[in-house]
Homo-oligomer: A and B are copies of this chain.
Amino acid sequence: MSVQLKDALETLKDSGVRITPQRHAILEYLIQTMTHPTADDIFKALEGKFPNMSVATVYNNLRVFREAGLVKELTYGDSSSRFDFVTSDHYHVICEECGKIVDFHYPGLDEVEALASHVTGFKVSHHRMETYGTCPDCAKQPKH
């Protein structure tokens, strides 16, 4: 079992959340995958192991994880939310052709937050940033 999973389970237990087999499996899947899956991706990936699991369970538990700070919800325009196990500060590049999401590290944009706060009078707590473009694979292929 990975350290990340162990820590995550610990965090949940400490906040009084029960570790059910479904929760264990969803967390494990989130940690091991690199694909920033949708709720439905997770549901599909686990239906072999849990033939009777409901989609609601996936959504419920993703919310539980989000509230515990273990998981981030990424919301993009048209389609459904994607979920990202929180590791350390990183941002995303998103391929507009195929939807692939890749992480990259960059120092937090504290300066922008400070300016925003100064100019607007808001108390700024956090921000969101993504870059968009074309991934190497799609750059090779002819469009669509």
Contact = CB atoms under 8 A, between A and B. Distances in A.
Interface of A: 73, 75-78, 81, 91, 93, 95-96, 102, 104-106, 109, 112-113, 115-117, 119-136, 139
A124 B93 contact: yes
A13 B79 CA distance: 31
Contact of A131 (B75, B77, B96, B112): B112
Given A75-B75, A129-B129, A122 B106 contact: no
Given A76-B75, A77-B75, A81-B77, A123 B116 contact: no
B117 A106 contact: no
29 contacts: A73-B77, A75-B75, A77-B81, A93-B120, A93-B122, A93-B124, A96-B125, A102-B122, A104-B115, A104-B116, A106-B115, A109-B129, A112-B129, A112-B131, A113-B131, A121-B135, A122-B131, A122-B134, A122-B136, A123-B133, A123-B134, A125-B132, A125-B133, A126-B132, A127-B129, A127-B131, A128-B129, A128-B130, A129-B129
Nearest to A139: B123
A133 to B, nearest CB: 4
Contacts of A128: 128-132
